Amino acid sequence: MNNTIVMKRFEIVIGIEQLEQLMDLLDECGVRGYTVIKNVGGLGSRGVRDPDDVLTEEENVMVVLACKEEQAQKVVNELRPALKGFGGMCLVSDCLWLEGPAASY
């Protein structure tokens, strides 16, 4: 594949109340871009979070980002203790960045 870069993909699910802390942490790690998906649901250590339940006050968000290996290790080192503090989960996997004319990483 031409114009591809091997990277690490992060999928982080946390409560919305920790989103600002997470964005600050990512900024400190030099992450230049990510996607935030609000109102995600699922089953975790805090039970079921149903985004369609109007009586539920808790809201989860998912943050997706991709970065090079060196930066990924820095993110992992900073994120691990933070997640222990405010809960949530993080999946890290290998991915390929398909570089286009306006791509930035």
Question: Tokens for 84?
Answer: 């222990």
pLDDT for the residue 1: 54
Backbone phi, psi, residue 59, to 5°: -130, 135
Q: Is residue 105 part of a domain?
A: no
pLDDT for the residue 46: 63
Q: Is residue 104 part of a domain?
A: no
Number of domains in the chain: 1
Q: Is residue 85 part of a domain?
A: yes
Range of the domain at 15: 4-98
pLDDT for the residue 98: 86
Mean pLDDT by 10 residues, the chain (105 residues): 86 94 96 93 63 65 95 96 90 89 57
pLDDT for the residue 102: 59
C-alpha 44/C-alpha 64 separation (Å) is 18
73-98 pLDDT, tens digit per residue, is 999 999 999 999 888 899 999 999 88
Looking up residue 53, the CATH number of its domain turns out to be 3.30.70.120
Q: Which DSSP category does 3 fall into? A: T
pLDDT for the residue 47: 59
